[in-house]
């Protein structure tokens, strides 16, 4: 599956210094004939430095404007007081930069230039003009500038659509909150409009995880005897079952009947449980996944990856599928629209829909697009991104935050043998849980951070099976441990939507 949010040209994805850019640079060495080795960001260049008084000093930092000549790169010093400290120099440089780039010297432009200089971002005339146009009506300049910085770091276009998607990521409401609100709104709408009906179906398909099918498959895998024991154990938690022998016929009938509604109705009546069959399957599903002592993979053999299934249902490959359709020149318009994003786009563009519904749908579309853009990276050697993905839970949605740092192979794909993955979960019984997985040369170290419950006995009991299954995949489990406290800095990094490229975890380059 290809999760490609937009087609980005090769020139946009390759970091290169453009002529007339103004950058922060450090003089590493002064060479003859007014030539110097200057470090610009992570790169070093040899540049011809224009004459300046007083002369440049090794080890000092300045602002340079690059000029590309036929056979050389020239660096022109941009400063009013080159002898001042760099901090003073930067704070006094905004006027000099606007003058050098022939920019409108007003308050907003100076704030934008100052932000670029403070964060060591290249300053050019055209990007500053684009940013000024985007922020001319900004209500939260600090937040919007961070969105601009994120786009610049990923070398994404400074267009209105990309900016809105980046800004949506930093909004207060996550996708699952907006989706839950939209579900309530469309359920109350008395509309037979095809777009609304399709959106309802897409929303239900997204949140309705079929526990009945999962339970049936699992019970079949472990056999009738273990299934009966497991079901009886669950029923004992629901009511007083002093006479468990009386339940055996109903339990056996339920197991033998492959979970048929009639057999379940008899069982529920026998137990005097006042819950619907759907509630029974959801509760039993939760019990099996969180409390069962049976060491059997719950989804063994079904080949479905919940995380990637959610990405596909959200529409992470929406644009890619449209591109495929256009290349094939087919008229199967239902193919790319059969995702949540596709149906939300259809509703947001339909003028007959209530404005509130259209606006909510558009905000969610921008959130999804922002999540897609998280996967974009300008660095050809290392990938770093975070995702906040809604997943179904108890007929509603909850949030799963994923953070990844990984090497890239020669084809640009993620390298599973050199990566760090962190998951932030909010579980029913374990509460907030942060899981980190470090992979290096096919050796895995897994740590679970949880300050609510001691899970070490469960980890110890499950470690042999986990080691065996990882070995079957060609991996070696080095350690499986728990930390009694959650690392707040790491938690912030995992849940932070606009990840800045720092590579501070355990990926070795």
Instruction: Look at residue 339 and tell me whether its pLDDT is greater than 50.
Output: yes
Percent pLDDT > 90 in the chain is 20
Tokens representing 175 are 């996708």
> pLDDT class for 128, splitting at 50, 70, 90?
very high
Comparison of pLDDT for 437 and 380, the residue scoring more: 437
What sections of 170-260 are H helices per DSSP? 175-188, 194-207, 211-222, 224-236, 248-256
Comparison of pLDDT for 491 and 234, the residue scoring more: 491
Looking at residue 487, what DSSP letter applies? -
Instruction: Look at residue 239 and tell me whether its pLDDT is greater than 90.
Output: no
50-59, 183-192, 235-244, range with the lowest pLDDT: 235-244
What sections of 257-354 are H helices per DSSP? 261-271, 277-291, 306-314, 318-328, 334-337, 340-348
A 10 A CB-CB count for 343 gives 24
Give the per-residue pLDDT at 508. Answer: 34
Integer Cα distance of 491 and 403 in angstroms: 10
Collapsing DSSP to helix, strand or coil, 219 comes out as: helix
> pLDDT class for 434, splitting at 50, 70, 90?
very high
**Cβ(481)–Cβ(447) under 8 Å?**
yes
Distances (CA, A) of 123 to 83, 162, 502: 22, 20, 21
Name beta bridge partners: 404.
385, 421
Integer Cα distance of 430 and 450 in angstroms: 7
Integer Cα distance of 232 and 244 in angstroms: 8
* Short-list 360, 321, 369, CA closest to 341: 369
Instruction: Look at residue 72 and tell me whether its pLDDT is greater than 90.
Output: no
* Short-list 144, 83, 163, 154, CA closest to 121: 154
**Cβ(68)–Cβ(61) under 8 Å?**
no
Instruction: Look at residue 482 and tell me whether its pLDDT is greater than 90.
Output: yes
Mean pLDDT of 482-489: 92
Give the per-residue pLDDT at 211. Answer: 57
Comparison of pLDDT for 52 and 410, the residue scoring more: 410
Please, which residues have CB within 8 angstroms of residue 421's CB and are 6 or more apart in sequence? 402, 403, 404, 436, 437, 439
Mean pLDDT of 58-73: 77
Mean pLDDT of 60-68: 79
Integer Cα distance of 419 and 411 in angstroms: 16
Mean pLDDT of 118-125: 86
The whole-model pTM stands at 0.69
Angle at the Cα of 25 from the Cα atoms of 24 and 30, rounded to 5 degrees = 155
Instruction: Look at residue 444 and tell me whether its pLDDT is greater than 90.
Output: yes
**Cβ(497)–Cβ(463) under 8 Å?**
no
Q: How does pLDDT run across 241-284, given as a tens digit for each residue?
A: 545 556 677 777 777 765 566 777 777 777 777 777 667 776 77
99-113, 196-210, 357-371, range with the lowest pLDDT: 196-210
> pLDDT class for 85, splitting at 50, 70, 90?
low
Instruction: Look at residue 286 and tell me whether its pLDDT is greater than 90.
Output: no
**Cβ(403)–Cβ(435) under 8 Å?**
no
A 10 A CB-CB count for 109 gives 20
> pLDDT class for 214, splitting at 50, 70, 90?
low
Angle at the Cα of 489 from the Cα atoms of 366 and 139, rounded to 5 degrees = 40
> pLDDT class for 435, splitting at 50, 70, 90?
very high
Integer Cα distance of 90 and 87 in angstroms: 5
Comparison of pLDDT for 75 and 164, the residue scoring more: 164
> pLDDT class for 335, splitting at 50, 70, 90?
very low
Integer Cα distance of 335 and 323 in angstroms: 11
Mean pLDDT of 132-150: 93
Comparison of pLDDT for 129 and 91, the residue scoring more: 129
**Cβ(434)–Cβ(490) under 8 Å?**
yes
Integer Cα distance of 100 and 173 in angstroms: 41
Q: How does pLDDT run across 456-476, given as a tens digit for each residue?
A: 999 999 999 999 989 988 899
Collapsing DSSP to helix, strand or coil, 311 comes out as: helix
Comparison of pLDDT for 304 and 191, the residue scoring more: 191
Select the highest-mean-pLDDT range: 153-162, 197-206, 278-287: 153-162
Mean pLDDT of 111-139: 91
Give the per-residue pLDDT at 292. Answer: 47
Considering the chain, tell me which residue range(s) the CATH 3.30.750 domain(s) occupy: 378-508
> pLDDT class for 500, splitting at 50, 70, 90?
low
Instruction: Look at residue 194 and tell me whether its pLDDT is greater than 50.
Output: yes
- CATH architecture type of domain 378-508: 2-Layer Sandwich (3.30)
Instruction: Look at residue 376 and tell me whether its pLDDT is greater than 70.
Output: yes
Please, which residues have CB within 8 angstroms of residue 83's CB and are 6 or more apart in sequence? 54
Tokens representing 100 are 């050098």
Collapsing DSSP to helix, strand or coil, 23 comes out as: strand
């Amino acid at each position: 599956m290809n999760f490609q949010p937009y087609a980005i040209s090769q020139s946009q994805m390759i970091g290169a210094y453009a002529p007339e850019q103004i950058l922060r640079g450090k003089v590493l060495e002064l060479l003859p004939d007014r030539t110097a080795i200057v470090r610009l960001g992570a790169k070093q260049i040899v540049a011809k430095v224009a004459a300046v008084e007083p002369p440049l000093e090794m080890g000092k930092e300045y602002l340079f404007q690059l000029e590309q000549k036929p056979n050389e790169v020239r660096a022109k010093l941009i400063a009013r007081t080159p002898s001042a400290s760099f901090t003073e120099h930067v704070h006094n440089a905004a006027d000099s930069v606007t003058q050098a780039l022939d920019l409108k010297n007003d308050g907003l432009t100076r704030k934008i230039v100052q932000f670029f200089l403070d964060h060591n971002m290249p300053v050019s005339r055209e990007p500053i003009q684009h940013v000024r146009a985007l922020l001319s009506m900004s209500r939260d300049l600090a937040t919007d500038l961070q969105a601009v910085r994120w786009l610049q770091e990923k070398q994404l276009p400074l267009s209105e659509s990309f900016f809105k998607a980046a800004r949506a990521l930093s909004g207060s409401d996550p996708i699952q909150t907006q989706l839950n609100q939209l579900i309530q709104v469309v359920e109350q709408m008395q509309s037979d409009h095809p777009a609304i009906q399709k959106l309802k179906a897409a929303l239900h398909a997204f949140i309705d995880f079929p526990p009945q099918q999962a339970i049936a498959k699992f019970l079949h895998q472990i056999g009738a005897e273990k299934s009966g024991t497991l079901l009886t154990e669950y029923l004992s938690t629901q009511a007083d079952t002093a006479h468990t022998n009386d339940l055996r016929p109903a339990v056996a009938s339920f197991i033998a009947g492959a979970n048929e509604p009639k057999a379940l109705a008899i069982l529920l009546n026998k137990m005097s449980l006042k819950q619907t069959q759907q509630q029974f399957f959801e509760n039993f599903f939760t019990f099996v996944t969180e409390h069962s002592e049976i060491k059997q993979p719950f989804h063994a053999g079904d080949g479905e990856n919940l995380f990637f299934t959610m990405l596909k249902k959200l529409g992470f490959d929406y644009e890619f599928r449209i591109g495929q359709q256009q290349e094939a020149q087919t008229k199967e318009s239902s193919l790319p629209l059969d995702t949540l994003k596709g149906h939300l786009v259809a509703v947001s563009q339909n003028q007959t829909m209530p404005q509130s519904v259209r606006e909510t749908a558009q905000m969610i579309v921008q959130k999804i697009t922002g999540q897609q853009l998280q996967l974009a990276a300008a660095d050809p050697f290392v990938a770093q991104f975070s995702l906040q993905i809604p997943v179904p839970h108890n007929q509603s949605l909850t949030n799963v935050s994923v953070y990844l740092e990984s090497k890239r192979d020669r084809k640009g794909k993620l390298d599973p043998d050199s990566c760090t993955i962190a998951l932030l979960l909010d579980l029913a019984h374990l509460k907030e849980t942060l899981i980190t997985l470090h992979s290096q040369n096919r050796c895995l170290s897994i740590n679970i951070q949880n300050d609510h419950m001691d899970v070490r006995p469960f980890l110890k009991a499950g470690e042999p099976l986990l080691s065996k299954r990882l070995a079957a995949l060609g991996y070696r489990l080095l350690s499986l441990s728990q930390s009694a406290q959650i690392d707040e800095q790491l938690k912030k990094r995992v849940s932070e939507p606009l990840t800045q490229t720092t590579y501070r975890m355990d990926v070795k380059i």
